[in-house]
Amino acid sequence: MRIKTTSDYMQSLQHLSPTIYYRGEKIADVTTHPATAPHVRAVGMTYALANQEKYADLATATSHLTGRTISRFTHVHQNVEDLLKKVKLLRVLGQKTGTCFQRCVGFDGINATYSVAWEMDKKYGTGYLERFKKWLVHIQDENLTVVGAMTDPKGDRSKGPADQPDPDQYLHVVERREDGLVIRGAKLHMTGAVNSHEILIMPTTAMNESSKDYAVVCAVPVDAPGITMIFGRQANDSRRDLKENIDVGKPSFGIVGGEAVIVFEDVFVPWERVFMDGETDFTGLLVYRFAAHHRANYGACKTGLMDVLTGAVTYLAQAQGTANGSHVRDKVTEMIHLSETLYSSSIACSAEGVPTPSGAYMVDTMLANVCKHNVTRFHFEVARLAVDLAGGFIATMPGEHDLDSEEVGHLVEKYFSGVAGIPVKDRIKIGRLIEAMTGGTAMVESMHGAGSPQAQRIMIFREGKLNEKVKLAKALAGIPRREK
Amino acid sequence: MRIKTTSDYMQSLQHLSPTIYYRGEKIADVTTHPATAPHVRAVGMTYALANQEKYADLATATSHLTGRTISRFTHVHQNVEDLLKKVKLLRVLGQKTGTCFQRCVGFDGINATYSVAWEMDKKYGTGYLERFKKWLVHIQDENLTVVGAMTDPKGDRSKGPADQPDPDQYLHVVERREDGLVIRGAKLHMTGAVNSHEILIMPTTAMNESSKDYAVVCAVPVDAPGITMIFGRQANDSRRDLKENIDVGKPSFGIVGGEAVIVFEDVFVPWERVFMDGETDFTGLLVYRFAAHHRANYGACKTGLMDVLTGAVTYLAQAQGTANGSHVRDKVTEMIHLSETLYSSSIACSAEGVPTPSGAYMVDTMLANVCKHNVTRFHFEVARLAVDLAGGFIATMPGEHDLDSEEVGHLVEKYFSGVAGIPVKDRIKIGRLIEAMTGGTAMVESMHGAGSPQAQRIMIFREGKLNEKVKLAKALAGIPRREK
Amino acid sequence: MRIKTTSDYMQSLQHLSPTIYYRGEKIADVTTHPATAPHVRAVGMTYALANQEKYADLATATSHLTGRTISRFTHVHQNVEDLLKKVKLLRVLGQKTGTCFQRCVGFDGINATYSVAWEMDKKYGTGYLERFKKWLVHIQDENLTVVGAMTDPKGDRSKGPADQPDPDQYLHVVERREDGLVIRGAKLHMTGAVNSHEILIMPTTAMNESSKDYAVVCAVPVDAPGITMIFGRQANDSRRDLKENIDVGKPSFGIVGGEAVIVFEDVFVPWERVFMDGETDFTGLLVYRFAAHHRANYGACKTGLMDVLTGAVTYLAQAQGTANGSHVRDKVTEMIHLSETLYSSSIACSAEGVPTPSGAYMVDTMLANVCKHNVTRFHFEVARLAVDLAGGFIATMPGEHDLDSEEVGHLVEKYFSGVAGIPVKDRIKIGRLIEAMTGGTAMVESMHGAGSPQAQRIMIFREGKLNEKVKLAKALAGIPRREK
Amino acid sequence: MRIKTTSDYMQSLQHLSPTIYYRGEKIADVTTHPATAPHVRAVGMTYALANQEKYADLATATSHLTGRTISRFTHVHQNVEDLLKKVKLLRVLGQKTGTCFQRCVGFDGINATYSVAWEMDKKYGTGYLERFKKWLVHIQDENLTVVGAMTDPKGDRSKGPADQPDPDQYLHVVERREDGLVIRGAKLHMTGAVNSHEILIMPTTAMNESSKDYAVVCAVPVDAPGITMIFGRQANDSRRDLKENIDVGKPSFGIVGGEAVIVFEDVFVPWERVFMDGETDFTGLLVYRFAAHHRANYGACKTGLMDVLTGAVTYLAQAQGTANGSHVRDKVTEMIHLSETLYSSSIACSAEGVPTPSGAYMVDTMLANVCKHNVTRFHFEVARLAVDLAGGFIATMPGEHDLDSEEVGHLVEKYFSGVAGIPVKDRIKIGRLIEAMTGGTAMVESMHGAGSPQAQRIMIFREGKLNEKVKLAKALAGIPRREK
């Protein structure tokens, strides 16, 4: 691993030159710009953890391609243990950053592409897997951060890719040259895009024959010519941009993953970086596998976030002298219960993992969908309980400038004091942390990241084996079997 | 009514000189300062509506004291119809402002104080009611905005008012002079404080004999000497302060009520503005009545907000081409269902209103508590559904500066377009509206305004008439009555 | 009112001779047969209450047709007060019987038919209203119990009335004679059918021109030639049939309404009892009004049942020494909260009642649908909480024969004793009451009576005024109005 | 395994002579008495499955004591795989029986006692483990069914064992002889008691020094002198007793586990069957381990039941022509989602299993508690959805005698027909199956078996590691570490 530490990672980003806009202006250096630096630090934690003895076993793996020690985020899962370690790693990272650490999307894209490339090659005699392995060894050895890019704009959603008035609403191949492809389109909501090294492009949905040009998987560096990124707004982003400290809630880390729009205006991709081109019959499988891996993760990283929230409200209740109230304890219990229910599904879909023909391991897809679906419910409920326990306080608190003011600072100190011995500033800091973790963008990401709720319901119904269940019911009711 | 229009109201505020700090600096004019102006405009709507024929019947009333036409917000409810009209007025105002319009707190304080003054006079031969009527006629004739000030800091909540290390954690009388009282303390979370004319101070909880100095009800102008206000932070307040337009979501109105801390440093109150002084046995009743009125309101104004949210996601679904999806319709149905369930309780507790001995009408207290308690659940669920329907879009959208940018504006236009005929800018505006109405402060206020959830549960249990219910059960089970 | 007392009512039933089957055998006398007697007693309570001074104002009304005092169950609502009194009456009856007292269906049928008859006459110059009034005065003066018969079998539900392989899956006119009609078909789930005097037949759904013969409203006596009833099974019905006392839970009253299938095999109906014949364009309106009235009721009678359940678990907790546990109190609070939330909608849709052109009052249909929809959720949740608080006890208790047994009675006495002073038998009786009120049929009726959940959702979406809500959202987001 | 088949098992029961009362009368042969035979058949399935090649790997294990093949229900878990296989076995058995198959309680008792015996011996030098192993080899070799007996009556629950007015409210040692102990007391809600071979008695709660005589673990045959059982009543038990076929819903199997009260009137237990006597400091650990194992199971067997319910409503929807309705599919999706969420926790707590000092494996206790806690919510919700989808039908259907009746059978056939090709009788059978699986006792058992909801909440709070979570929150909020 060439990039070993957070500092290595930051330096590596400074050597790239992506085109990034934010609020109408260009960002020169993502590692120092207030809008992007918190997200850089969150990814930095994925590097840092690999160097801590306590977490090395979770945060690193042995490459099945080279035998070298690599970051787990660049690993192809080789067994159930790999899947379980990943889950545990994600929970720890959620606890340490309280936010999205971004490397999962590329991680899952790598795992999905690997196994599907094997199957495409098997069917069509293509050589995608070898190409992909070469690229992957490079990623592993350099220890690069890869953003998986899946979500197209989709325009009018009542129409498919080929029926859009504007053909670019889904990313597609506009030219095939001797040395490679040219692609055009955009990917929305791209987590970690601005501070990654590479983009792994994947189709956003299952496609049919009519959409051959849209069935493309390939990798490009983030600063390839023709790529423009526009960094999205987040809840309370201006506080962050103004370099406020306490009032951002989490001084070091961001609210979510640092999402951006990536626009591809005729970007060239050499053939050795193309891993699917026109195999529409594999688009569904790729999306399915990517989605399942990604949904499995949410039950782990979000549990880490909920652990933090549970700790935060507990501390606040201690500061206010309410920690022993029976209703306070009951709500904290509920927060833990929901968190661990989520975590269960992440563990379960990993424990029930199975090998694909390529040898790469897949999570149980039913349980992975169930996992993410619960995130879309329980994270909101945990946030609601946190807001309940935190009190109106988190919505009406004076700001840090008031706290520091000569005129009113002493009044804030006086009237926001609680139990003796807990500094007012600490109480306010925790209040701001809860505000940051329960409001707006944090919740939206939890709802829609890894697929909106309805996407999971479709899979859950489809994989519910209803015919088998009907047979069970008929047997118990004493209904004789008949020819169908 | 001297103050008739929104413009009259704004001018009247400019004649006051309250001491207000925000982010460490003084606010000179609340009608123009970006932090407070949106809240001024929301209160302005309460004046404006009274001048529209369509709403005059709801927005005005006839004073039972003078027979003159007054703003309903200064009225003492004289019958069930008054209670019902109030509910309908609040829903309309919620629909028109999408936020808190602030005058309810004073309104409910007036109604609670009126009836309790009658009863105090009856028991103790005091003359509170006459004093109060005089003050109220002034409020009605001038058509002033009154902030009801109830919530004390409470310090260490495991201790009561008299047991706090700092006696000022609950507002109290520090001196009684010939011409009036001197009070010290603070009130937190004061909705609309900075743009009101008067403060009606009430105790925050039922008190016992040991807390006589804390049992005080009185009125002071917002710019009385010794009063300092500190305006609280809200979700995305910096966007507002930077005078961004689209990205604040609601260009005209604020997120919530514009809450502030009000600090009273030895503020003098002349006797004619004192409406309780030491009658601790009436503190519980006052809080009870105030709380019931206030809780009743939440089912109406929040329904107005949910109406807006329901409309917003419907429009967004139309813009995205998803409005006919069965799951979209089902979620919209759920939003309406929850909204109308809330509204039911506001209507019901009003329809079941009863007169107090003073003649002023009270809502049914059980149903009013039930009403607010559902707000603390359903508003979150409605927001969750709105976030579900809105999509990740509302958390990752580029900002308005990107939209206006020469470099990337056309890319935003291109890749955020949806169904033909709906301007991209409108889609983004609705997205921002949903963002503003579902995240952070908006939800926190809904949870804790008019009392935190546990406060309602205590009342619901207390008023549940369990003995009578036990009798019903025993009768049906065939258990003979016995001497207890 | 000729029938004044419960005893009058029973005698009047004995003078009828309906054809009723139960478990393959004919029932000779519904007032004494163990399967039907509990339901007779429940209706009896509607007569009894009218004679108690405390309830007379709720249980009776003044006929707007004759000016005579009548049972409220035969009254056409003349104002909001009538609607509110009805709601209160139903809650009391729910409390007193702990079950369905059955007269609402006919009551709502009367109210729906009355106002629709007025409008049919207005449009078509028919004379339905006069015929109906004549019949109604008879019902009022005799004080008869009327079963409203709406739900057809519907056969293959993917097909409409006219497309069924068997035309009788929806009740229809098979012959029109000079003196009247002949009808054929069946009505399922008919509450109170076996112990009513008259059947008021209504169509089950909105119909189009192709279904003219299915658009029929008429009244027939329960023992008209050609009518056969089959009484349905209920949870634990055999305990009732075996005349067990304690183990049925409610010794006097039944689990639900005593539902039956009514089969009409070419039943003759004279013209003076026909109130609609072929006016398909009014079928939707009739169903809509009936359904709204009926859905409004469920928030009242079921609240009465929940009151009983709340009392029952409170008593049981007292008997077990757990009544002061904080989680016990919290769950009881939740039961009350959900009960009163339901009740709110019944009150609200009545308070917001409006006159139809006929002068008969209608409830607010949105709120009435919301009301019933909440029943389908909250009654289950209240039952779940009751089961939680009651303990495994209610599922594993020995029976009353064990309690009475010489061999093991003393062991039951010894090991089911709780807090000193509360007889073991009383504890067991309350356990059985909870068992009866939370299991099986009781819950199913709550779900589907007055329309299954999806029926309400359709209405809620339809009446949600989405266009108006979209306008509200656009106004707040600053989107200019455009020509659509 | 001496007892190999269901038939062997039945014969073995006929050789026992337990004293069992039901409804005041003695049961002579549990294998043929209608009240108990369905439960015998359910246990029979645990024997039958071991003989089916498809399930042998799940249903059997290799004894770590003898190396012989044994029923998994008599096995001490040796690794995570054992825990996972158990979970899968339980789901299959739930699917095949649609009810409780009863052997888990003894199974979990064996596992808890084994590991605790090791630790008691370690601390006190007692020889409990050797005694226990000897007894266990007997159980394994004979393949006996063991009922784990834990739940004492508890009398007045505000008092502990030693403070009850009647000392027998908790089972205790009344005499210690040279050759063994004498015990007195009772165990309530004993699943499978009447058709087991042996009773493994355990204390019901953690005890302190003052309750030494209550800290007893021992095994007795079900027909030991002094033991009397009273078989409890279940929902619709009389239909079963009357040998109705269709109307019981599940012709072969019971509603729940066949719970009984077991009374011990001075029962003698020889020392070699005593595995704890007075070691009060281990009572908590024993209960804790037993409970965790048992709670883990519920997520598996109940998922099996929910699989059946999901199949049943799907079939019914097909029979009614509604299976393609979007709301039907959505509710079925929800049923599957909740089922698989439950199953996740069973899998997860097993996958995270850890060895005890004895080598026996324990599930993760947090996740096991979470698992059972969700059963108490989701099973009710799944039942509610099933009732929603099934329709009022399941509460008002005529009985099987009506179906067979010459007079009305043809009417039932005609008016309960649905989609062509699905026999009416089959539709009715499925309706009855749903009725049986959603009403009354079935739900109560799910709520309280393996501990009532509050029992899990206490564990979840206790094991929530709040201090660690507070540290995480403080770190993220930038609060410096201080000496506590």
**pLDDT tens-digit series, residues D223-243:** 999 999 999 999 999 999 999
What global pTM score does this model have? 0.97
Scanning every residue of chain C, which has its alpha carbon at the shortest distance from the alpha carbon of D446? Answer: C392
pLDDT over threshold 80, residue B273: yes
Neighbours of chain C (3+ CB pairs under 8 A): A, B, D
pLDDT tens digits, A457-469: 999 999 999 999 9
Average pLDDT over residues A404-425: 95
Are the C-beta atoms of residues B226 and B267 closer than 8 Å to each other?
Answer: yes
Scanning every residue of chain A, which has its alpha carbon at the shortest distance from the alpha carbon of D484? Answer: A421
C158 close contact with A: CB closer than 8 A: no
DSSP assignment of C310-329 equals: HHHHHHHHHHHT-TT-HHHH
CA distances from C426 to A260, B391, B476, C316, C451 (A): 67, 56, 12, 9, 37
Neighbours of chain A (3+ CB pairs under 8 A): B, C, D
Which tokens go with A329?
């304890």
pLDDT over threshold 70, residue B483: no
Neighbours of D108 (CB within 10 A): 27
- Supply the pLDDT for residue C234: 96
Residue whose C-alpha is closest to residue B327's, from B391, B379, B377:
B391
Rounded to an integer, what distance in angstroms lies between the CA atom of residue B202 and that of residue C287?
52
Are the C-beta atoms of residues A275 and A149 closer than 8 Å to each other?
Answer: no
Residue A75 among the catalytic residues: no
pLDDT over threshold 70, residue D484: no
Residues in chain C with pLDDT values less than 70: 483-484
Q: Which amino acid is at C436?
A: A
Q: Which residues, listed in sequence order, are joined to residue B277 by a DSSP beta bridge?
A: B216
B483 close contact with C: CB closer than 8 A: no
pLDDT tens digits, D307-335: 999 999 999 999 999 999 999 999 999 99
Residue A100 among the catalytic residues: yes
Average pLDDT over residues A267-282: 98
- Supply the pLDDT for residue A1: 84
Average pLDDT over residues B408-433: 96
DSSP assignment of D38-82 equals: HHHHHHHHHHHHHTSHHHHHHHEEE-TTT--EEEGGGPPP-SHHH
**What 3-state DSSP class applies to A463?**
coil
Are the C-beta atoms of residues B139 and B283 closer than 8 Å to each other?
Answer: no
Give percent of chain D with pLDDT exceeding 70: 99
Rounded to an integer, what distance in angstroms lies between the CA atom of residue B252 and that of residue C303?
43
Asked if A430 lies within 8 A of D95 by C-beta distance, the reply is no
Which residue among A241, A263, A408 sits closest to B415, beta carbon to beta carbon?
A263
Mutate to test the interface with D, among B324, B327, B329, B337 (most CBs of D within 10 A): B327
Rounded to an integer, what distance in angstroms lies between the CA atom of residue A446 and that of residue A430?
21
- Supply the pLDDT for residue C111: 98
Q: Which residues, listed in sequence order, are joined to residue A218 by a DSSP beta bridge?
A: A201, A274
pLDDT over threshold 90, residue D1: no
Asked if C333 lies within 8 A of B250 by C-beta distance, the reply is no
Average pLDDT over residues A312-334: 97
Q: Identify all chain D residues contacting C420, using CB atoms and an 8 Å cutoff.
A: 156, 165
Residue whose C-alpha is closest to residue C35's, from C209, C202, C194, C150:
C194
- Supply the pLDDT for residue C481: 80
pLDDT tens digits, D20-35: 999 999 999 999 999 9
C315 close contact with B: CB closer than 8 A: yes
B216 close contact with A: CB closer than 8 A: no
pLDDT over threshold 80, residue D218: yes
- Supply the pLDDT for residue A483: 54
Q: Which of A64-73, B229-238, B275-284, C474-483 has the lowest mean pLDDT?
A: C474-483
Q: Identify all chain B residues contacting D330, using CB atoms and an 8 Å cutoff.
A: 326-327, 330
pLDDT tens digits, C331-385: 999 999 999 999 999 999 999 999 999 999 999 999 999 999 999 999 999 999 9
Q: Which residues, listed in sequence order, are joined to residue A229 by a DSSP beta bridge?
A: A20, A262
- Supply the pLDDT for residue A481: 80
Beta strands B146-149 and B198-201, pairing class? parallel
Residues 362-401 (C) with a CB less than 8 A from some CB of B: 366-367, 370-371, 373-374
A419 close contact with B: CB closer than 8 A: yes
pLDDT over threshold 70, residue B484: no
D206 to chain B, closest Cα gap in Å: 31
Give percent of chain A with pLDDT exceeding 70: 99
Neighbours of C178 (CB within 10 A): 5
B411 to chain D, closest Cα gap in Å: 36
Rounded to an integer, what distance in angstroms lies between the CA atom of residue B30 and that of residue B442?
21
Q: What is the ipTM of this complex?
A: 0.97
Rounded to an integer, what distance in angstroms lies between the CA atom of residue B81 and that of residue D396?
44
Rounded to an integer, what distance in angstroms lies between the CA atom of residue B198 and that of residue B146?
5
C415 to chain D, closest Cα gap in Å: 6
Which residue among B97, B309, B352 sits closest to C347, beta carbon to beta carbon?
B352
CA distances from B401 to A25, B239, B247, B424, B429 (A): 8, 12, 9, 14, 13
pLDDT tens digits, C8-66: 999 999 999 999 999 999 999 999 999 999 999 999 999 999 999 999 999 999 999 99
Confidence tier at D483 by pLDDT (50, 70, 90)? low
C406 close contact with B: CB closer than 8 A: no
Asked if D464 lies within 8 A of A333 by C-beta distance, the reply is yes
Are the C-beta atoms of residues B463 and B335 closer than 8 Å to each other?
Answer: no
pLDDT tens digits, B239-269: 999 999 999 999 999 999 999 999 999 999 9
Which residue among B98, B315, B341 sits closest to C374, beta carbon to beta carbon?
B341
pLDDT over threshold 90, residue D53: yes
Q: Identify all chain B residues contacting C385, using CB atoms and an 8 Å cutoff.
A: none
